[in-house]
Amino acid sequence: MSAPQGDADRAALEHALGTLPASTEAIRAIEDARQVPTYAKLPIALVRGRGSYVWDADGKRYLDLYGGHAVALTGHCHPRVVEAIRAQAGRLLFFSNVVYNDVRAAAVEALAELAPAGLRSAFLCNSGAEANETALKLARKHTGRMRVVSMQEGFHGRTLGALGATGIRGYRDPAYPIPTAHTYVPYGDIEALGAALGDDVAAVILEPIPSMGGIQVAEPEYFQALRRLCDEHGTLLLFDEVQTGFGRTGTMWFGEHVDVRPDLITGAKGIASGFPAGVCFVREDLAAQVQPGEQGTTFGGGPLASAAIAATARCLLDEGLPANAARVGAVLAEALAPHPAVTAVRGRGLLFGFDLDRPAKPVVRALVDEGVLCGGAGGNPHQIRLLPPLTLTEDEAREWLPALDRALEAAAR
């Protein structure tokens, strides 16, 4: 695939902003000097994207199996999403939820079409952490209880409330003490969950497939028992589908795989194909009890975000992207499972992990040099995580396998 037609856009940007730094070196120097150094960045500067590919400032092309951090759900710069954002940008950049708006109406209508029956009421916000904060706050208010049970392997965001639910200690510890009542249990362990639950628990929150903590998938019986236990205790069940949602695992929502419907679902990442947005889907009878003023956000459901959400939803439905994720995920599994350096393949659809017989980090780094972007998993140092666009083709899923072999060799040197 040739580089996308980005020159006219770059010229327009320079007209508006002044000259942009042009080389990787120049871009890195400025960001390193001027950003608070919270991120360990790859040494590349990406400036364009189209479909499954991105290009750096020096014109090198990369196959993006990391999906811009699980965000480029419809592929980079899907023309329909770009058109919606461009058109809305020229019409009305912003007005808050204090007024109604036609594009917001289109977005919530589209989300209702995607959402599971019974959860077709959405609170629009700006990020995954905010969606989880909203869900946990609502669960506490509705149940009148304080404690939350979550998974040791779970990641739910960086704000204090979401961090409180995050089981992975590496993320949580720097913020101690966290002012929330949390109990952490191992993912997939129904006995531990049963022991942790009590009539003081407002909610159980979990990623149905932990991702940052290392991809693994519990058995359907686990989820069914989880639902039953929550019902027995009057505890709300919250699926954090920030990564698993919107078709990534091969179904629109994870619960379809295991025949379980949670009370709350949070989403973000690819919901707007890269425009910042999040959502908290709320069981409709709970939503009916929420009062004006109970929750709010200035930017949630703004016109630009709404245009991007509605366009993304249309792409997911019209292009059958969840089914493509299932199909291409199976191709990846078939290609990688027999590889001599691979000890396990994990996940569902295009939330895909494979474990190596060696540490993954040097291999992930060598893959960058090979023009392939993928991720590691904090909770499993041997795992490579793939979170590509749901538009990934079967050919694209296979084309990088020789690069993996070269990367394995380079990392071993």
Ligand X SMILES: Cc1ncc(COP(=O)(O)O)c(C=O)c1O
Residues that bind ligand X (CB under 6 A): 127-129, 132, 155-157, 207, 211-212, 240, 242-243, 268
According to DSSP, the residues that pair with 54 across neighbouring strands are 49, 62
CB of 160 to ligand X, least distance (A): 12
CB of 71 to ligand X, least distance (A): 9
CB of 76 to ligand X, least distance (A): 18
The gap from C-alpha 75 to its chain's centroid, in whole angstroms, comes to 14
Of 268 and 279, CB closest to ligand X: 268
Closest-CA residue to 333 (of 345, 351, 321): 345
CB of 243 to ligand X, least distance (A): 5
Count of positions (residues) in the chain: 413
- Provide the token pair at 79: 């023309």
CB of 208 to ligand X, least distance (A): 10
Place of tokens 């200035």: 298
Of 211 and 407, CB closest to ligand X: 211
3-class DSSP state of 272: helix
Of 272 and 335, CB closest to ligand X: 272
Of 75 and 128, CB closest to ligand X: 128
Rounded to the nearest 5°, which phi and psi values hold at 305?
-60, -40
Q: Environment class of residue 158 by beta-carbon count within 10 Å: exposed (0-12), middle (13-18) or buried (19+)?
A: middle
Do 143 and 187 contact (CB within 8 A), yes or no?
A: no
Residue nearest to ligand X (CB): 128
Of 84 and 165, CB closest to ligand X: 165
The 3 state secondary structure assigned to 291-343 is: CCCCCCCCCCCCHHHHHHHHHHHHHHHHCCHHHHHHHHHHHHHHHHCCCCCEE
Of 128 and 255, CB closest to ligand X: 128
Of 155 and 275, CB closest to ligand X: 155
Closest-CA residue to 68 (of 401, 374, 397, 408): 374
Compute the distance between CA of residue 188 and CA of residue 401 in angstroms, rounded to an integer: 32
Closest-CA residue to 165 (of 174, 283, 153, 124): 153
CB of 155 to ligand X, least distance (A): 5
CB of 158 to ligand X, least distance (A): 6
According to DSSP, the residues that pair with 183 across neighbouring strands are 149
CB of 69 to ligand X, least distance (A): 7
Of 168 and 197, CB closest to ligand X: 168
